[in-house]
Structure 1
């Protein structure tokens, strides 16, 4: 057997989850032989690079809040701590806030979540519609029927996802991780133990630990080992517009009760999107201008009348790995297949969860005591069909 095809750990998927896991693994144990197999090292269809990018503290599950708190700490010091071979990343980290607007029926859950976030030391405040307008004069909350208030997370923000991914990848490689461009076609197992995998190029790689970080493709990968995951690749579309009237200040990621969201980008541009129940499942990367014209533009103009006149600059589509059980991450070893670890089902908030998840996966794999207890996300609940229950924002 060629020793070059034998690894201690093979990570399938080199996006944010795969690269943070590789980074923390090789940092924790430099002797580990780690491979990352990624189908496209240009990341043209990776959810990491097609994301509109957001890092927010506003979740209603305590562990999700703590995951974001760690991400905030990492991003704050990222450029200094992730410099490798004199290459200092520039991640354009902007903490412009997240503003969630609510109708009356959602207020109790929103305020309960806010109280929990505040207990954890988060900067989150309740604003009346008038306070929203005071902070952002272009906004017209009265234009959307039923809005009674909002929560504002001042520390929330966005960053350059590609720059963060490339920095994790560069550091992981500098610490010994081997990145391989290939497509995994089958996982290999023997007597309840993962033994490796096969790839499209005809290679067989052996390892007693394989980590599924395949994002929207995770269910297809798991299926080759007889593991069934409730995760669907769901298309999400984003649009960039140039409004005739520019805001005199950066606008936070603003989320309306309908699920429509937008924020400012460099040069006064506006980025926007909306997750809808009828979004197609599958590997579809086409984007539809009519979706913008018929659905998003009217909603934007209703809430920000000054943005009624605008020019559509571009659009794109990416994939969410939607956990249909409960919309939360699936983290840990699959109970029925030793050595097969999952970091899947992030349902749209995986990018900000990358640092905490990569660290946690490295601790599970090496047998270290987890710095943060994320056992609530164990795959056991998938086998048992027991979703995590939470109110308000997920």
Structure 2
């Protein structure tokens, strides 16, 4: 590659990096943008290993607004991302999310529900009786005082969305390179206010220069920035999903149903049921093995809640990584305070796939000094330096 100087270097070509590349070139087609991704097969990408969900059921206003924007984008994604007449097929299915609440979680859920209504969200509060009426196979509601149902929440093909953004960005002039950034090149005093990003060096020995670099490396984010002395509270945490074929076949698709324990499940095409649960003991590190013993525990929770699923067959399981922000489990977005030109889009803690559209637009606005259409400054990296967390109120 002869020209090694770029207007913007994006490190990481998953949903965040590809969305950002697209939005940059949409805003200014003259920009020279390169996306450096260590594995363009995306075999271990959190984007492609996600169970995939898009929901407005958050308690932090900005997270709700980010999802509202994602809904709008996904509705027209296939048409907007068409390249030379070829449209990505993302199979966007709005089958709903149903969060079940016990007495402990009800107050926070009620606060979030009313806030979402004020923002114009499609959200409903269901009594236990209504839950049973709509889904009579949900038998064990003894400790459930109600549920929040988002009829427009749903899921889609994560790989197709990623490839849609990538193909569109490439058609607009973005370059994608398979290589790994191992060093960030800086100039000035990182402990003062005069440090600037200068570029990156890769594992294949290449150097790329730019005064704007975006870290979109997901679960690997902290490892990269630590090389220049930045301590980012983002850990790679293993999450596991299991796909089963139940003997009982529901008459209609089941929404993503989330129990107070954190156990969740939903139907998938082909007669499958997907199960998962985040646990405190989930290991930190770059481990992609999946544990069949965990499935036995999840099966027990499913059976207790819906005994019709007594008989089922495990088809497959897989593990992916959450980029968990240990400070507050929310995104870290914006320019690092002590390094001019170095932007972060990290720490999404499992919410990143649905936040990709809004994040790509927001990072673009920051780099190009445009007024943000959606103010996401609450997620600024400054709160990491000053240890000022912003928490979701009971719905994570």
For the aligned pair, the TM-score class normalised by the smaller chain equals over 0.9
Query: Is there any run of 5+ residues in structure 2 with no aligned partner, and where?
Result: 189-194
Cα deviations by residue, 1:297-319 (Å, 9 ceiling, x for unpaired): 00011111111100000000000
C-alpha contact (below 8 Å) 1:56/1:153 kept by paired residues: yes
How far apart, in 1, do the equivalents of 2:151 and 2:124 lie?
8
Asked whether the equivalents of residues 129 and 141 of structure 1 are also in contact (C-alpha less than 8 Å), the reply is no
1:35-184 to structure 2, matched below 5 A, reads 35-142=34-141, 145-184=142-181
Does the 8 Å CA contact 2:329/2:391 hold for their aligned counterparts? no
CA contact (8 A) 2:239 2:320 kept: yes
Contact 1:237 1:318 (8 Å CA) reproduced:
yes
Unaligned runs of 5+ in 1: none
1:188 aligns with one of 185, 188, 204: 185
Rounded Cα–Cα distance in structure 1 between residues aligned with 2:351 and 2:147:
20
Deviation at 1:392, TM superposition (A): 2.1
Partner of 2:264: 261
Q: 1:18 and 1:308 mapped to 2: Cα distance?
A: 42
Higher alpha-carbon deviation: 83-92 or 230-239: 83-92
CA contact 1:133–1:141 (8 Å) conserved in 2: no
Aligned equivalents of 1:7, 1:81: Cα separation in 2? 26
TM-score normalised per structure 2: 0.97
Q: Give the conservation status (yes or no) of the 8 Å contact 1:330–1:346.
A: yes
Higher helix share: 1
Give runs of aligned pairs for residues 204-243 of structure 1, distance below 5 A.
204-243=207-246
Q: What is the CA distance between 1:3 and its match in structure 2?
A: 5.4
Q: When the two structures are superposed, what TM-score results if normalisation uses the length of structure 1? A: 0.98
Q: Distance in 1 between matches of 2:391 and 2:235?
A: 20
Corresponding residue of 1:303: 305
How far apart are the structure 1 equivalents of 2:145 and 2:158? 33
Alignment partners' CA distance in 1, 2:393 and 2:89: 36
Q: How far off its partner does 1:177 sit?
A: 0.5
* Corresponding residue for residue 373 of structure 1: 375
Match of 1:361 in 2: 363
Q: Which residue of 2 aligns with 1:284?
A: 287
Cα–Cα, structure 1 residues 389 and 50, in superposed 2: closer, same or farther, change >3 Å? closer
Contact 1:124 1:151 in 2 (8 A): yes
Offset, 1:31 = 1.0
4+ long deviations beyond 4 Å: none
Provide the aligned C-alpha RMSD in A.
0.9
Distance in 1 (alpha carbons) for counterparts of 2:104 and 2:218: 34
